Amino acid sequence: MSFTAKIWDTEFPGVIYNSSGPRCTTLEELSSLWDSTSSAIMMKSCSPEPREGNPLPRYSEVELGSINSIGLANHGYKKYIEYAAELKKQFPNKPIVVSIVGFSHEDFIMLVTAFQNEENVDVLEVNLSCPNVVGKPQIAYDFEWSDELIAKLFAIPGDKPIGFKLPPYFDPIHTEMMAEVLRKYPVSFITCINSVGNTLIIDPETEQPLIAPKWWLGGLGWDYVKPIALANVRSFYKLLGDKVTIIWCGGIKSWVDVFEHLLAGASMVQLGTVLGKEGTDCFERIEKEFYTYMDKKWYTDIKQVIWKLQEL
Ligand code: DHB
């Protein structure tokens, strides 16, 4: 059976790993990802300076999913350079993916330059879609700003693959506009989708919202967002073909979600909320369930499933 993946020259031993979300901020959490069957170690989105993030409560779960407004709490990029060195020393065989986030073109340029020069990092995911910083819009909803930024990032010397974490798009015109931007550059992957931003969940018992920051608005994940993620994956594959690897993030809780997203065009998947809820055992559980189903269907290669949604 062949269930591996590649982003340019970086080989991933499987197709499932963690998203830049829960349980990937501290060195301890990152080390436990190595101990799991996650196919890579993705680090929490890091900014130029350390950040405390938003006030508590900033994360909550309900039956159909989660709402968060963490606000990019992280230890600052210098710490993640140290963590990457430590992780690579201990666990040389797992790709290390850094997620970077800034508040200006200069921030992003500085961070991409730093990580392009960092031998212990394999892949760069540039987060263009965090919905949780007060007063800062989700970058990838501004196509011109994104285009200018992406041009600058690809002008930086370096041979590490760069991809972008995108917000959900709700209108095909917007998906096309972003695809048009991406086509102009050697983008190696996109991660679809970030949480659905600025949503409100109310507890009818307490008659209060679930989270405090940003006037109680936060990013929605899990069951609520899966159909949105599926549509975005499918639309981007249709527009970009297999030149850009599509990584699905948003709403995975079992093998069936993985299977459906591969059918829609994803080549790899990232686990977020489920990792927060279940801990790192979720990788093995979902992988085993998925491989069992593939076996039942007589599939021996992941390529037999990717983009193979049957027409109606
Ligand atoms: C945060 C939220 C996101 O959706 C993301 O991609 C990165 C960080 C946050 O609030 O910390």
Nearest CA to ligand 1 atom 8: 72
Length of the chain (residues): 312
Mean pLDDT of 96-112: 98
Q: What is the pLDDT of residue 251?
A: 85
**Of residues 38, 46, 66, 130, which has the active-site annotation?**
130
| 188 backbone dihedrals φ, ψ, rounded to 5° | -90, -25
Residue 122 is given by DSSP the state: -
Ordered domains of the chain (ranges, CATH): 5-304 (3.20.20.70)
Ligand 1 centroid to 247 CA: how many Å? 17
Q: What is the pTM of this model?
A: 0.97
CA of 291 relative to ligand 1 center, distance in Å? 30
What is the structure's pLDDT at 165?
A: 98
Residue 235: pLDDT band (50, 70, 90) is very high
**Is pLDDT at 82 greater than 90 in this prediction?**
yes
- Average of per-residue pLDDT values in the chain: 96
State what percent of residues in the chain have pLDDT above 70.
99
- Choose which residue among 20, 44, 47, 128 to substitute to test ligand 1 binding: the one with the highest number of ligand atoms within 8 A of its C-beta: 20
**Looking at the predicted structure, is the pLDDT value of residue 2 above 80?**
no
Q: What is the pLDDT of residue 1?
A: 67
Q: Say what the pLDDT of residue 92 is.
A: 83
> Contact 192/249 with Cβ under 8 angstroms?
yes
Which residues have any ligand 1 atom within 6 Å of their CB?
A: 20, 45, 68-73, 127, 130-132, 165, 194-195, 219
3-class secondary-structure state, position 189: strand
Whether the pLDDT of residue 80 is over 80: the answer is: yes
Average pLDDT over residues 146-152: 98
- Which 3-state string (H, E, C) describes 236-299? HHHHHHHHCEEEEECCCCCHHHHHHHHHHCCCEEEECHHHHHHCCHHHHHHHHHHHHHHHHCCC
> What's the rounded Cα separation, in Å, for the pair 30 and 164?
21
How many helices and strands (H and E) does the chain possess? 10, 16
For residue 267, indicate whether it is catalytic: no
Going by C-alpha positions, the residue among 19, 45, 151, 168 that lies closest to residue 99 is 45
Instruction: Give me the half-sphere count of Cα atoms (radius 13 Å) on the Cβ side of residue 211.
Output: 26
Query: Per-residue pLDDT for 42 more than 80?
Result: yes
